């Protein structure tokens, strides 16, 4: 530790720290623009100049290393005068457009100009004008004349997103931040550039000119998309969600969120919202009141149960639903006498339950791994924030190995992470590839591998094995495609054996916001009921189907065939915030999205995160847990006297907490060789994962969405929605 004197106070910091770090520790604010705690040091704004004793001139606090006995003054006349001079320089070319700037009220330059700016400028020449740029549907670069060249956005792209999409061209006063060759900004984390821009040069295109920052109420929430469980601040005006920004949580999402977490809110105010219960009568949809709709459903379920038995009723639930919704849907189905319930719509294998599958380690620990093997995943697009953490680990010297298919990783640079070793083979060869790695480890350790590969381990398998046998902190991570694979059990068995031999943790990245939670409440068949695969297969025999927050045509492995199978049922009930499943549903019940209902999500590491409604439900929309409770009451089912989500939560796990012994990736299944006939696992593209992102117009205009929906009308619909 090194001791310095900062404004008369003694401060101890670690060797190699900068004066800025010492100031943070002491609670002393030093004005700055280019410095950001998560980015490398650039020292190009010079706003953080401080007075260091014996130094010939003011020094930048962000780039001046501490030395033993150093004396620093941040409020001396010399320091203040230097900071004021820098502010005058920065304001030379800055347009005086605070009243119309989206950053107004949240602008570092505006705030610091009050404290350090002069009442007048000595500069009389014409201000510099920078031509605006079009870089895609999410980020606006209309006012690049505001840019002060702090390069935060450039460094974010390089260091966090892994893609240098923005850079600085030219020199001196002609310098500009821009994309090159007219490219768009396509990173799945690009929206974070808006947050870190200190001056309003980069603003949110969907939010632009829609509200002033001081008009917005700020409310905490949790992302309903992937399994990170990113913490959000939802900003609200007049009972409408206007903007979503990150809530810093170092253990979960740090200070970043993915673009689908940030921009999916557009769907919540879109034209496809369902705000009134609807019944299909004579092939035409009619709006009805809640009493009529629920009595129709209750009477229909009673009649079908009486005529065909309880096992003719099936429930398909979305792992993006809250814990409370999943619990009540499970209870309702089982109290009706049916065991046909499942959340695993995209799975190809439905093994017996052996434990709640989870990440196997903490999210924060991904940044510290030294060796990692990712199997069957498009890590960057499926889990952008997990990919970001592993990217940081690789930047610090970790070695990443990959076994996946070309469709999930087109080339070694596709994930914007340096890959040390890779085995790019089709999905039906993943078991063989993983068995080859296990065999190579067995040769080194003198242990018998659980499955002998058909061929001797090749160079890639030996390199992956050697990597996992070195280092200390290691992880084997199974992606969405591995979880949905026809031989998912074999992949897990091999991964567990490799983990045991190398000392690596083994876990699933897990697909959805509440995949872990769905397992915790038992939203799958336990006593011989039909799994999702059989419910969506021809000849399932289902006469009544309840669909909670999902669209089987988009959310299941069956795809378009699901419509024909479900359409054969006598009654199909869809509970959704949107006008979904219109072609085969008989009843549409409008349920609240995550912004309009309280609830709980369990993320990949098993962390329970509760949230409250941030706006009132639109129209006649009701929280799904209330709808399910009232439906159970109309059916005369016992045990549904819940008055709040807290009461429902108390019935789950260990009185609303994840039991310590519940999370387990252990399996008794034996690894079985592939017969080579397995179909490719079904995985959702980044902006097709759930019903909310599918209906967010700006997200559907991104390069990722266009590439995924080539040949469909998704882009046209998005453009129409924004028109």
The pLDDT score that the predictor gives to residue 539 is 87
Give the Å distances, CA to CA, from 509 to 167, 387, 480. 33, 11, 7
Helical (H) or strand (E) element with 474: strand 474-478
Measure the CA–CA gap between 293 and 522, rounded to whole angstroms.
28
The pLDDT score that the predictor gives to residue 713 is 52
Work out the pLDDT band at 710, boundaries 50, 70, 90: low
Q: Cα-flanking dihedrals φ and ψ of residue 241, to 5°?
A: -75, 120
505: which residues sit within 8 A by CB, 6+ positions away? 360, 361, 474, 475, 476, 499
> Can you tell me whether residue 83 is helix, strand or coil?
helix
- Pairing type for strands 505-508 and 217-222 reads unpaired
CB atoms within 10 A of CB 487: 25
Burial (CB < 10 A; 0-12, 13-18, 19+), residue 616, is exposed
The pLDDT score that the predictor gives to residue 720 is 55
Give the Å distances, CA to CA, from 574 to 93, 187, 203, 311, 580. 57, 34, 38, 19, 7
Both structure tokens of 477: 């991570």
> Can you tell me whether residue 80 is helix, strand or coil?
helix
Measure the CA–CA gap between 436 and 720, rounded to whole angstroms.
50
DSSP class of residue 557 equals T
The residue-averaged pLDDT of 407-412 equals 92
Which of 98, 318, 346 lies closest to 213 in space, CA to CA? 98
List pLDDT tens digits, range 134-150: 999 999 999 999 999 99
Torsion of CA 303, 304, 306, 312, to 10 degrees: -160
Burial (CB < 10 A; 0-12, 13-18, 19+), residue 127, is exposed
Measure the N-to-C terminal CA separation of the chain; round to a whole number of Å: 59
CB atoms within 10 A of CB 520: 23
Both structure tokens of 335: 């109290």
List pLDDT tens digits, range 113-135: 998 988 888 888 888 889 888 99
CB atoms within 10 A of CB 652: 23
Q: Cα-flanking dihedrals φ and ψ of residue 681, to 5°?
A: -65, 150
Measure the CA–CA gap between 651 and 638, rounded to whole angstroms.
14
Work out the pLDDT band at 711, boundaries 50, 70, 90: very low
616-619-624 Cα angle (round to 5):
70
The pLDDT score that the predictor gives to residue 121 is 82
Measure the CA–CA gap between 275 and 601, rounded to whole angstroms.
24
Helical (H) or strand (E) element with 176: strand 176-178
- Decide if pLDDT at 460 tops 60: yes
Q: What is the pTM of this model?
A: 0.94
The pLDDT score that the predictor gives to residue 678 is 73
643: which residues sit within 8 A by CB, 6+ positions away? none
CB atoms within 10 A of CB 373: 28
List pLDDT tens digits, range 308-353: 999 999 999 999 999 999 999 999 999 999 999 999 999 999 999 9
- Asked if 593 and 224 count as a contact pair (C-beta separation under 8 A), the reply is yes
DSSP class of residue 578 equals B
The pLDDT score that the predictor gives to residue 117 is 86
Which of 59, 99, 235 lies closest to 595 in space, CA to CA? 235
Mean residue pLDDT of the chain comes to 93
- Decide if pLDDT at 537 tops 50: yes
- Decide if pLDDT at 623 tops 90: yes
584: which residues sit within 8 A by CB, 6+ positions away? 563, 566, 567, 569, 572
Helical (H) or strand (E) element with 518: helix 515-520
HSE at residue 398, side-chain half, CA atoms within 13 A, is 24
List pLDDT tens digits, range 61-76: 999 999 999 999 999 9
């Amino acid at each position: 530790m090194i001791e310095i004197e900062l404004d008369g106070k003694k401060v101890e910091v670690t060797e190699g720290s900068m004066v800025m770090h010492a100031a943070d520790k002491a609670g002393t604010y030093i004005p700055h623009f280019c410095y950001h705690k998560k980015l490398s040091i650039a020292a190009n704004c010079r706003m953080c100049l401080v007075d260091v004793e014996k130094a010939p001139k003011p020094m930048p606090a962000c780039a001046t290393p501490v030395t033993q006995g150093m004396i620093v003054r941040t409020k001396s006349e010399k320091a203040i005068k230097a900071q004021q001079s820098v502010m005058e320089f920065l304001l030379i070319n800055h347009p005086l457009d605070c009243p119309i700037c989206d950053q107004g009220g949240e602008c570092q330059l505006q705030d610091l100009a009050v404290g350090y700016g002069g009442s007048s400028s000595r500069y009389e020449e014409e201000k510099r004008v920078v031509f605006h740029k079009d870089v895609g549907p999410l980020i606006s670069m209309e006012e690049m004349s505001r840019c002060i060249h702090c390069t935060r956005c450039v460094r974010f792209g390089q260091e966090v997103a892994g893609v240098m999409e923005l850079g600085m061209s030219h020199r001196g006063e002609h310098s500009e931040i821009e994309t090159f060759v007219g490219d768009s900004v396509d990173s799945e984390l690009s929206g974070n550039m808006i947050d870190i821009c200190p001056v309003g040069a980069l603003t949110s295109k969907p939010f632009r000119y829609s509200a002033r920052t001081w008009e917005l109420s700020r409310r905490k929430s949790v992302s309903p998309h992937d399994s990170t469980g990113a913490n959000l601040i939802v900003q609200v005006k007049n009972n409408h969600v206007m903007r979503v920004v990150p809530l810093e949580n170092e253990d979960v999402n740090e200070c970043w969120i993915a673009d689908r977490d940030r921009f999916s809110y557009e769907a919540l105010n879109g034209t496809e919202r369902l705000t009134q219960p609807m019944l299909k009568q004579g092939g035409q949809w009619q709006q009805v009141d809640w009493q009529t709709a629920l009595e129709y459903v209750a009477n229909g379920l009673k009649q079908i149960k009486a005529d065909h038995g309880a096992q003719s009723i099936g429930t398909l639930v979305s792992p993006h639903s809250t814990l409370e919704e999943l619990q009540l849907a499970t209870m309702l189905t089982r109290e009706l006498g049916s065991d046909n319930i499942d959340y695993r719509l995209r799975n190809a294998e439905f093994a017996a339950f052996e434990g709640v599958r989870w990440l196997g380690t903490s999210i924060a620990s991904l940044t510290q791994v030294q060796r990692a093997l990712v199997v069957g995943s498009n890590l960057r697009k499926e889990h952008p924030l997990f990919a970001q953490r592993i990217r940081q680990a690789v930047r610090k010297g970790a070695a990443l190995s990959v076994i996946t298919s070309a469709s999930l990783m087109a080339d070694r640079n596709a994930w914007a992470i340096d890959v040390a070793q890779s085995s790019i083979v089709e999905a039906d060869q993943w078991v063989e590839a993983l068995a080859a790695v296990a065999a190579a480890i067995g040769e080194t350790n003198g242990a018998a591998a659980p499955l002998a590969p058909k061929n001797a381990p090749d160079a890639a398998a030996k390199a992956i094995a050697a990597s996992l046998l070195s280092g200390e902190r290691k992880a084997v991570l199974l992606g969405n495609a591995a979880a949905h694979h026809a031989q998912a059990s074999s992949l897990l068995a091999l991964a567990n054996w490799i983990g045991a031999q190398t000392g690596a943790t083994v876990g699933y990245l897990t697909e959805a916001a509440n995949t872990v939670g769905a397992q915790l409440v038992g939203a799958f068949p336990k006593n011989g009921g039909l799994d999702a695969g059989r419910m969506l297969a021809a000849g399932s025999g289902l006469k009544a189907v309840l669909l909670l927050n999902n669209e089987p045509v988009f959310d299941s492995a069956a795809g378009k065939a699901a419509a024909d199978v479900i359409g054969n049922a006598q009654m199909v009930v869809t509970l959704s915030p949107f006008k979904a499943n219109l072609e085969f549903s008989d009843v549409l019940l409008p349920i609240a999205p995550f912004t309009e209902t309280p609830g709980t999500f369990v993320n990949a590491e098993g962390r329970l995160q509760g949230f409250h409604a941030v706006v009132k439900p639109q129209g006649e929309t009701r929280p799904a847990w209330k709808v399910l409770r009232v439906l159970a009451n109309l059916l005369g089912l016992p045990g549904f006297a819940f008055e709040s989500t807290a009461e429902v939560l108390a019935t789950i796990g260990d009185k609303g907490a994840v039991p310590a012994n519940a999370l387990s990736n252990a399996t008794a299944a034996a690894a079985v060789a592939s017969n080579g006939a397995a179909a490719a696992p079904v995985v959702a593209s980044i902006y097709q994962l759930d019903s909310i992102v599918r209906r967010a117009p700006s997200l559907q205009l991104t390069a990722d969405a266009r590439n995924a929906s080539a040949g469909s009308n998704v882009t046209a619909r998005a453009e129409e929605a924004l028109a």
